[in-house]
Amino acid sequence: MTNAVWLKPEAVAQIEFLEWTEGDRLRHSKFVGLREDKKPRSVVKEQAEEPRITSG
């Protein structure tokens, strides 16, 4: 941590990815674009939704 450089969040990127790895990294990630409708400090890691089972 002695060589760490801390930055202030100034932009929000939208990333598509396949899944989170066990090491908490993104698998097969792809940059989609910048999001100007979100504030950097409001962004949190999203939790995966449970698959929905529908009948019909």
Domain that holds residue 31: 13-38
Nearest alpha carbon to residue 15 among 39, 35, 1: 35
User: Is 3 inside any structural domain?
Assistant: no
User: Is 53 inside any structural domain?
Assistant: no
- Show pLDDT as tens, one digit a residue, over the chain (56 residues): 789 998 999 999 999 999 989 999 999 999 999 999 999 999 998 776 777 787 76
The two three-digit tokens of residue 28, written as one number: 């097969």
Number of domains in the chain: 1
Give the phi and the psi of residue 39 in degrees, each rounded to 5.
Answer: -90, 135
User: Is 27 inside any structural domain?
Assistant: yes
User: Is 25 inside any structural domain?
Assistant: yes
User: Is 23 inside any structural domain?
Assistant: yes
User: Is 20 inside any structural domain?
Assistant: yes
Contacts of residue 19, Cβ cutoff 8 Å, sequence gap at least 6: 26, 27, 28
pTM given for the model: 0.64
User: Is 1 inside any structural domain?
Assistant: no
